[in-house]
A and B are shown apart, each in its own frame.
Chain A
Amino acid sequence: MRTSILAAWAVAATAVALPAQADKLDDIIASGTLRCAVVLDFPPMGSRDAQNNPIGFDVDYCSDLAAALGVTAEVVETTFPERIPALMSGSVDVAVASTSDTLERAKTVGFTIPYYSFENAVVANEKVEMSNWEGMKGKVVGATAGTYEAIWLEGKVKEWGEGEFRPYQNQADVFLALSQGQLDATVSTVEVAEANVKSGNFPGIKIVDKAPMVPDYVALITLREEYGLINYMNLFINQQVRTGRYAELYKKWVGEGEPADLTVKGVYR
């Protein structure tokens, strides 16, 4: 008798200690808020309007995802180096932050299928003589620490064996340094480079050349083990394209023209 009571208590205790495993997808729906990490010094993907409210392609994309989930969107600004630590620390649920789907990162976080694809351009200070991307050889170049383009650029500087690479902590500082002439050149996505040149915010910079890099596919990210959420977001990205919302956002933030193709020919996802 006594043992069975004890056993019953033990069972009850385990039941309390181990509630049915709710995954992040459930958590988000239950909490009513989707917290997205977005990088806001990366126009047109993310920036701030005159009232300092977040705007941009990524901000809208986060809102769309929240709307699909039936929750409210909360944009948490992070810099490029901070976005994965912010995700890991649980201060955001997902990052809609133009995150390149590198294999190194995939060891830590879970990627969806690509939701956008960039080409990269070499942007230089006007005072610097540079006719193509190889002109960066021997110059002082920089990019945001840890980004796809930073890793490529730092690799190139090492390969050339001359010049200097500087990793700044955010994208704004890179363009500020470039505009001030502290950097001779940087590599940035074509969209961002064009937006920054056009805005007139950074006088004295010019786009020199396309960077000879593999197209930069960017994806949404969440924790590596959250398959439920990753599956959901994969379908969401697919739906964004098939409903025409992707093209609509492209037109709104990037401009006229054909939005980037999100498939890679000759291979499955």
Chain B
Amino acid sequence: MFDTALTANDLIFLAKGAGMTLIVTGISVLLGTILGILFGVFRYQVGPWWAAPLTFVLDIFRSIPLLIQLVLANAFVTTVLGFRISGFTVACGVLSLYTSAYCAEIVRGGIESVPTTLRRAARSLGMTWGQDMRSIVLPLATRVALPSWIGLALGVMKDSALVFIVQVVELLKSTQILITRLQEPLFLLMICGLFYFVISFPVARLGGYLERRWSND
């Protein structure tokens, strides 16, 4: 169907870009989730009034475009403060905080979905706060939160396409580099899109399946 000048070498080059997409996504989702759980639990524990500053800061990450966050963070850390750090570090840092902002919302929603009466019952049985969180809230909140979290992780993978702006060569940038040389935009873009789709689609389906299964119990 396609008459292409694409060589095995070029496929390896694309695979490297795809690898970078996955590495950046992996690091950001991991760090972002840890931070998100901390922020989410904190916000729930201290109540809206004391959590207001944190809520405000996290809200910023959800209210300005990721592209601007990346440019701004990069300019601030490296140009204004004068630290020598790589674009990769900036990309992972910004994406982690970005992930944590959404994750905190998901975590808070998950905790809130656990009926207070259930938690009071647990505490009145003599459970400590930690025991209550671990044995009662965690299993129940996870069921509510996991499908959204899967959606978030996939969202981060797709949004990681923007880290090209801080000189990280990920999948979409690798594709553009090959387009520059080979001038087969349509074919190369299809390969690139297919890669995202092949990863995202089954995982998204899994999320949908879990959501359906767990909401029926």
Contacts and interface: CB of A to CB of B under 8 A. Distances in A.
Chains A and B touch (C-beta atoms under 8 A apart): yes
Contacts of B63: none
Given A86-B167, A88-B79, A52 B181 contact: yes
A235 to B, nearest CB: 26
A213 to B, nearest CB: 25
B75 A47 contact: no
Contact of A176 (B7, B13, B79, B185): B185
Contact of A52 (B10, B82, B87, B183): B10
B86 interface: yes
B177 interface: yes
B27 to A, nearest CB: 19
Contacts of A48: 177, 180-181
A85 B166 CA distance: 9
Contacts of A41: 180
Given A76-B167, A172-B176, A90 B183 contact: no
Interface in A5-52: 40-41, 47-48, 50-52
Contact of A47 (B13, B169, B176, B181): B181
Contact of A89 (B10, B78, B169, B177): B78
Given A50-B9, A176-B185, A90 B180 contact: no
A102 interface: no
Contact of B82 (A78, A90, A172, A202): A90
Nearest to B88: A91
Contacts, number: 60
A52 B75 contact: no
Contacts of B71: 85
Interface string B1-34: 0000001011001000000000000000000000
Contacts of A86: 167
B148 interface: no
Contact of A51 (B9, B166, B180): B9
A31 B129 CA distance: 52
A164 interface: no
A90 B177 contact: no
A263 interface: no
Interface in A64-112: 76-78, 82, 85-86, 88-91
B84 interface: yes
Contact of A78 (B84, B86, B167, B183): B167
A201 interface: yes
B41 interface: no
A172 B183 CA distance: 9
Nearest to A179: B183
Interface in B167-185: 167, 169, 176-183, 185
Nearest to B182: A201
Interface string A119-140: 0000000000000000000000
A50 B180 CA distance: 12
Contacts of B75: 85, 88-89
B159 to A, nearest CB: 18
A242 to B, nearest CB: 35
Contacts of B96: none
A88 B77 CA distance: 11
A21 to B, nearest CB: 13
Given A89-B87, A90-B84, A91-B166, 20 more contacts: A40-B177, A47-B181, A48-B177, A48-B180, A48-B181, A50-B7, A52-B9, A76-B167, A77-B177, A85-B75, A88-B78, A90-B78, A90-B82, A91-B78, A91-B167, A172-B176, A172-B179, A176-B183, A179-B183, A201-B183
Interface of A: 40-41, 47-48, 50-52, 76-78, 82, 85-86, 88-91, 170, 172, 176, 179, 201-202
13 contacts: A40-B180, A48-B177, A48-B180, A52-B9, A52-B177, A52-B178, A88-B75, A90-B84, A91-B78, A91-B87, A91-B167, A172-B179, A179-B183
CB-based closest 3 A-B pairs: A89-B78, A172-B180, A201-B183
